[in-house]
Structure 1
Amino acid sequence: MWDAVLVAVALVDVRIHFAPDEPLRMVCALLAALVLPARRRLPSLTFLCALPSALVSDAVFATLAALYTLASLSRHRVLLAGCALAYAACDLTWWSWPAPEFLEPHESSALVTVTYSVATGAAPVFLGQLVQARRELSLRLDEISEARAHERLLLAQGVLARERAQLAREMHDVVSHQVSLIAVRAGALQVGSRDPGTREAASTIRRLSVQTLEELRHMVSVLRASGSRPTELTPQPSLADLRRLVDSSGIEAELRTDLPDDLPPAVQRAVYRTVQEALTNVRKHAPGATATIHLLRRGGTVHATVANTAPTRPALPLPGAHHGLVGLRQRAELLGGTVTSGPTPDGGYSLRLELPAEATT
């Protein structure tokens, strides 16, 4: 639409400034008007085709329109300055074409005429550059808006990932711990009871517990897929809860501790979760074994060791995803500590945690 409007205005400009007995000038002016639709695809060529119109006549609308378009699309300022000066030179000599006569420097009107022609050529260049800068600024603002929207999306995804990772940790540390205890107790009842009804009920409880553990394992794997640095949920266990944990573990375990009660909450939680995971592994992989839990502070380091003897009967086939030790190591690393584990010479197993006593997270 705008192309048709520009061509129409340029033709009107030609009609106003030319008579039928000026064919050369008419052809140059018509050429300038008719090439305007190509100004966006070929801006430099369009301006060159329109420039003769400014040289042979004062029908300059098409030439100025082509110069404006070139300035709005090009970043080559030397080229634009040369085009503006070329237009000014043509505008100064058109009245005497084809034998151009230049103004005498001493003439009083020379400075005004030159200034007018240069300003006329510079105006579309400055306007085109201004439009180009405005367009680029609008694009930059759009890019900034998109970047901010993407940043907000990433932030929301990060928060969700941290929540999912923490939920996976809590499911493994708390829910799986309790369900595995139910499965172990049900298995012991199934083996030790002489009543057929009781044995059948215990078998059902154990089977359902195993299925629940398998489903929990799958859910924890899915939640851990978005892994992130966890944020702690409240309420959280502390050293004061260790005795209850050991007594309800279903394992013959000895707890020896001289840790003070004023350790940072993060350290207390790490110690609790380490003992909890170790006892869960003893129940699952070393039935009939006894355990020793030794907690002490030596200098600025907290040491927690959970060791168990060799199992006295075959382990029950309980499902596991092997995320427990991985989670303990991740938690310890966040606090600047380490977790090591391995078999003992007597056929048992030992899990050791070392943490800075003043660690926080």
Structure 2
Amino acid sequence: MNRARALWERVPAPAVDLVLVIAAAVDVWLNLLDDTRLGVALATLGCAALAFRRRFPLGVFLLTLPIALTQPVAVAPLAALFTLAERSRNRPLLGVCVALVAVANSTPWPLAGLTEVGRTMTLVTFVYSLATAAAPVLIAQLLQARRDLARRLVEIEEAREHERVLHAQAVLARERAQLAREMHDVVSHQVSLIAVQAGAMQVAAKDLDAKEAARTIRSLSVTTLDELRTMVTLLRASGGRATELTPQPTLADLHELVESSGTHAQLTGELPTTVGTPAQRALYRTVQEALTNVRKHAPGATARVELWQDGDDVGVTVANTPPTRPSLPLPGSQHGLVGLRERADILRGTLEAGPTTEGGYRVRLRIPLGAD
């Protein structure tokens, strides 16, 4: 059955229409009861109109309706009614069309012979014609429902496939988030401890080889920690647009950071170009975290960002005035300053943070100039 249907669908539509027009014309030629000029003209018009049944189904049906008046069971009006029912979802309209065909078939032609046919015969003919006209409508509606069902099944399958993809993405996101938590809570913490211990060993060691080995361990630990934090960020992004790697910030980016901080902040001071990359990153993150806290917890306050050098140490001080209006309760992780202190410890520096006597807040980072 499917093979026959596939072969039928390969037949061009114009060829099918041509065959239908010829079949309707042969049917009229063999069975037409009204051979007058008017009857022949109406029959010819109705048969020719079948070529346009796909574009104008209702109009073609109305043009074929006179054939049903002059012929008991005609191919043309039934074919036009089938096409209309296959394309229309207006069931009241289809019911009216079926009734019109039944009335036309049961009406004696010419009308002068109406008294010669009894009421009973007319009623029987009407019922028979009604059933005959309803058959192509029911078949067409069945085909329409079949197409709708097939389309619905395709939509359901696509929805299920989309749901499977979303479920797989959700599972992957959960696994990545769990892995990110493990790396952040366990691995990053352990590497931080290694870096701190290596720094302490570097300071306390007397042997030059031991001091150099401790410096190497601390340097590798710092690099590993930065890579771990980058990996945690990528894992938490779960494949979103935020997974693209971006250059790490340096002191050259401080001006843009201060200008785009959303606070009234001023940057002063300079640092030598010999400041190492890890130290520049620590200074940048300190300013970033401090300005973020000013924006969140001290609305309306002004801030001053000062870069300074004190002997062999460099640092930054971020101080803000008291807020001019109440702050909104915003959620926070409460880990920003903790992370800054860990970064400072790794670089053998110190971080001081606390309120000022004027009612503001100050964050001060000090790092050895040669920290790397």
Cα gap change, 1:184 to 1:54, in 2 (>3 Å): same
Q: Distance in 2 between matches of 1:90 and 1:126?
A: 20
- How far apart are residue 63 of structure 1 and its match? 0.8
Once superposed, what is the RMSD of the aligned Cα atoms? 3.7
- 1:226-264 deviation digits (Å, cap 9, x = unpaired): 39xxxxxxxxxxxxxxxxxxxxxxxxxxxxxxxxxxxxx
3-state SS of the aligned residue for 2:238? Answer: coil
1:158 corresponding residue in structure 2:
170
For the pair 1:96 / 2:131, whether they are aligned, the reply is no
2:231 corresponding residue in structure 1:
219
State the identity %. 51
Q: Distance in 2 between matches of 1:80 and 1:19?
A: 27
- 1:260-285 deviation digits (Å, cap 9, x = unpaired): xxxxxxxxxxxxxx9x9999876545
2:130 corresponding residue in structure 1:
118
Residue of 11, 27, 32 corresponding to 1:13: 27
Residue of 174, 199, 211 corresponding to 1:187: 199
* 1:14 counterpart letter in structure 2: V
Q: Distance in 2 between matches of 1:161 and 1:100?
A: 83
Residue of 314, 318, 324 corresponding to 2:349: 314
Mapping 1:24-43, distance limit 5 Å: 24-43=38-57
2:260 corresponding residue in structure 1:
none
- How far apart are residue 119 of structure 1 and its match? 1.2
- How far apart are residue 64 of structure 1 and its match? 0.5
Cα gap change, 1:31 to 1:173, in 2 (>3 Å): same
Q: Distance in 2 between matches of 1:52 and 1:125?
A: 19
- How far apart are residue 23 of structure 1 and its match? 3.7
Q: Distance in 1 between matches of 2:106 and 2:191?
A: 96
Q: Distance in 2 between matches of 1:110 and 1:28?
A: 24
Q: Distance in 2 between matches of 1:111 and 1:19?
A: 20
- How far apart are residue 113 of structure 1 and its match? 1.4
* 2:147 counterpart letter in structure 1: R
Aligned pairs, how many?
Answer: 252
Mapping 1:172-321, distance limit 5 Å: 172-226=184-238, 283-285=342-344, 314-315=349-350
Using structure 1 for the length normalisation, give the TM-score: 0.60
Contact 2:69–2:109, Cα closer than 8 Å, also in 1:
no
Residue of 52, 55, 61 corresponding to 1:47: 61
1:133 corresponding residue in structure 2:
145
For the pair 1:81 / 2:116, whether they are aligned, the reply is no
* 1:175 counterpart letter in structure 2: V
Using structure 2 for the length normalisation, give the TM-score: 0.58
- How far apart are residue 108 of structure 1 and its match? 4.4
Cα gap change, 1:51 to 1:208, in 2 (>3 Å): same
Contact 2:105–2:125, Cα closer than 8 Å, also in 1:
no
Q: Distance in 1 between matches of 2:86 and 2:93?
A: 13
Q: Distance in 2 between matches of 1:205 and 1:286?
A: 15
* 2:171 counterpart letter in structure 1: V
Structure 1 stretches lacking a partner, 5+ long:
228-273, 288-312, 317-341, 348-361
Contact 1:88–1:118, Cα closer than 8 Å, also in 2:
yes
Q: Distance in 1 between matches of 2:46 and 2:132?
A: 18
- How far apart are residue 168 of structure 1 and its match? 0.6
Cα gap change, 1:134 to 1:78, in 2 (>3 Å): same
Contact 1:284–1:315, Cα closer than 8 Å, also in 2:
no
- 1:261-317 deviation digits (Å, cap 9, x = unpaired): xxxxxxxxxxxxx9x999987654568xxxxxxxxxxxxxxxxxxxxxxxxx7249x
Structure 2 stretches lacking a partner, 5+ long:
1-10, 240-332, 362-372
2:80 corresponding residue in structure 1:
66
Q: Distance in 2 between matches of 1:171 and 1:75?
A: 61
Structure number with the higher helix fraction is 2
Q: Distance in 2 between matches of 1:207 and 1:279?
A: 21
3-state SS of the aligned residue for 1:96? Answer: coil
Cα gap change, 1:161 to 1:140, in 2 (>3 Å): same
The more displaced of 138-147 and 51-60 is 51-60
Cα gap change, 1:219 to 1:112, in 2 (>3 Å): same
Contact 1:56–1:98, Cα closer than 8 Å, also in 2:
no
Contact 2:81–2:97, Cα closer than 8 Å, also in 1:
yes
Q: Distance in 1 between matches of 2:223 and 2:148?
A: 61
* 1:194 counterpart letter in structure 2: K
- How far apart are residue 70 of structure 1 and its match? 1.1
